Structure 1
Amino acid sequence: MLLRRSSEEGWNGMAGQRDRAGLLELLEENVSFLKASAASFDAGCEAEAKRLAVTLRVLVHDTANSHSLLRQLGVKGQMTFTDTASRIDPNNLIPAAPGLVIMRMTMGVGASYVAPLDMIPLPPSRIHPPAPFDAWWNDAHTRDSDGALWCRRKFVLTMANKEGGAHVDPKLNAAYERLAKHNGLGFTSNAAGGAYLPFDGNVAAVSVRQITHEFLKSYEAHAHLFV
Structure 2
Amino acid sequence: MKRGLNKNQVTREASDFAESLIEQLNFLIDFCSKYDHGNFNYSKQLAKTVRILVHDTANSTSLLSLLKCKNTMKFNSTASFPKNAIFFLGLVFPVSIQRMTEDGSPYNEHVYLPSLSYNKEVYTKRVDFNTWWNQNIIISDTLTFSRKDMIKYMSNQDGGAHVDETVLEKYYKISKATASMFYTIDKPLSEDPYQQGEPFKYLHFAVVRQIAHELILSIKREFNLDVLYNGTNKYNLNGLNIKPTEFIIARGTQLEY
TM-score normalised by L of structure 1: 0.81
More helix by share: 1
SS at match of 2:40: coil
- C-alpha separation in 2, matches of 1:74 and 1:89: 31
Shift of 1:134: 0.5
The one-letter amino acid paired with 1:9 is K
Residue matched to 1:136: 132
- Relative to 1, partners in 2 of residues 1:91 and 1:33: Cα closer, same or farther, differing over 3 Å? closer
Residue matched to 2:93: 102
- C-alpha separation in 1, matches of 2:167 and 2:85: 32
- With 189-198 and 63-72 compared, the bigger mean Cα shift is at 189-198
Question: How many correspondences in the alignment?
Answer: 209
Residue matched to 1:4: none
Whether 2:223 is the aligned partner of 1:223: answer: yes
- Unpaired segments of 5 or more residues in structure 1? 1-6
- Unpaired segments of 5 or more residues in structure 2? 99-106, 227-257
Shift of 1:57: 0.4
Give per-residue Cα distances to partners, 1:195-223, cap 9 Å, x unaligned. 88434321111100000000001011112
Residue matched to 2:43: 49
- C-alpha separation in 2, matches of 1:109 and 1:218: 35
- C-alpha separation in 2, matches of 1:33 and 1:80: 21
- C-alpha separation in 1, matches of 2:131 and 2:25: 22
Give per-residue Cα distances to partners, 1:44-74, cap 9 Å, x unaligned. 1111111100000000001121100000011
Give per-residue Cα distances to partners, 1:124-148, cap 9 Å, x unaligned. 3x4352110001001212024x433
Whether 2:53 is the aligned partner of 1:59: answer: yes
- Relative to 1, partners in 2 of residues 1:208 and 1:171: Cα closer, same or farther, differing over 3 Å? same
RCO higher in structure (CA 8 A, sep ≥6):
2
Percent pairwise identity: 29
CA contact (8 A) 2:75 2:127 kept: yes
- C-alpha separation in 2, matches of 1:61 and 1:199: 31
Whether 2:202 is the aligned partner of 1:207: answer: no
SS at match of 1:97: strand
The one-letter amino acid paired with 2:93 is I
2:71 to 74, 77, 82: 77
TM-score normalised by L of structure 2: 0.72
- Relative to 1, partners in 2 of residues 1:37 and 1:165: Cα closer, same or farther, differing over 3 Å? same
